[in-house]
Amino acid sequence: MSHIVADARRLARCGYRSESHREELQLIPAHLFQSALGLKDLERFYLQVRQTSEALGEPLSDADATVQSMPEASPAKWHLAHTTWFFEAMVLSRHLKGYKPFDEKFTFLFNSYYETMGARQPRPRRGMVTRPALDEIYAYRAHVDQAVARLLNSRPTRDAAELIELGCHHEQQHQELLLTDILHLFAQNPIRPSYRDPAPASAETAVLPALSFTDFEGGIVEIGHGGAGFAFDSEGPRHRVLTEPFRLATRLVTNAEWMEFIEDSGYTKPLLWLSEGWTKALAEGWSRPLYWETRDGQHWTMTLRGFQTIEPTAPVAHVSYFEADAFATWSGKRLPSEAEWEVAAQSLDVDGNFLDLIRLRPKPASPRKVGVQQMFGDVWEWTRSPFSPYPRFRAVEGAVGEYNGKFMSGQFVLRGGSCATPPGHLRASYRNFFPAHTRWQFAGLRLADDA
């Protein structure tokens, strides 16, 4: 799979300007972006994304791909079909003359949350869709791929091309969700099956860098996406914010440091916790990160490579915002705001432990690097910022306008990507978001402090 995924970095950084680019800028749909992809690069990007999804599905049986382990997750078969439905409903039905849907029933089965697109299968019951079988979903994907190829060969409008590019990034999001949902599913199985080779990933044994902090001056800075290149609507508009002087940890919090939190009764001290978090921790019986177990005095965790011993120097993962905030309080620190995180990340290369490395678990920090590291990849980093609109944000009309704006309530922002994020998918301005109790994602934390 690595040879399929690896081209994403290059494609995501391709630069392109048509001769009429200046004149076309005012025609760009408000929900999208100033595309930097030429038509040939878009075609290659589309094929790479679609092939990667199918490569991710290869290790799965029809049963693996059908079962839904919790209401918040979706079956792998649904992810493979929904991302295909997106191209069919948002692109082909509007921009390819004479397009015939693969199966009209799929409009109901594989819509996610688009109210303007009609009724749909309730999310908690997606696992009830035992038919169509996985082979038919792959036939559906082939049908849509052929139609998209015809559209791309017909010199599509700029609006259609940018919807295809949006669909590719949407599918990359679902590639990560497919993996985290499979991890949760396999963790419920008593035999602890492996998604990939169960042999332990090569464990780094180097001495862990001491936890240190880098100072940032603060002041009025700009954050958010601006200029050419893809970005989701919630990443803009670019705007000014005021940050007070702050300090940011040079690496992520590790499993060993989390063990100290556990041993110091961090899960039983209510003064460390936000009220809602404490109530949730008691109700759910939280006493360690999700997937952690102790056997014969040794800590183990479920991974996409099976049940493995915990790497003490690797970043802790699968903790909620509530747990991350409690740990930060216990440490005498705090979580960074998303503006602080972006200020620190803006000058860095978007490089790290992503899906293309096929490690599929967080990787220890390098003892040889100086300054802030692990800003991209490994684990999504909880920030203390609620997911809310930036100044002058406006959701556009229509179905695509439902993409992010309707979720700007009751969720917190995470930054930086994870070991399951496709390469080339991220930017310093990228905003992920989940409810504060979420634990099944590759989510961890980096400490911050006032300077």
- pLDDT of 178 reads 98
**Among all chains, which residue has been given the structure tokens 């800003």?**
375
**Among all chains, which residue has been given the structure tokens 């994304």?**
49
- pLDDT of 276 reads 98
Of the candidates 382, 249, 263, the residue with the CA atom closest to the CA atom of residue 322: 382
pTM above 0.85, yes or no: yes
- pLDDT of 173 reads 96
- Cα 178 to chain centroid distance, Å, stands at 10
Which residues lie closer than 8 Å to 222 by C-beta, 6 or more apart? 238, 239, 240, 241
- pLDDT of 19 reads 28
Average pLDDT, 10 consecutive residues per value, the chain (451 residues): 45 34 31 75 97 98 98 97 96 95 94 81 94 97 98 93 94 97 97 89 69 95 89 92 98 97 98 98 98 92 95 96 98 98 96 95 90 96 96 75 71 97 96 97 98 94
Residue 398 tokens read as 């229509």
Eight-state DSSP code of residue 353: B
Distance CA 431, CA 232 (A): 9
Q: How many CB atoms lie within 10 A of CB 219?
A: 11
Which residues lie closer than 8 Å to 42 by C-beta, 6 or more apart? 152, 161, 164, 165
- pLDDT of 5 reads 44
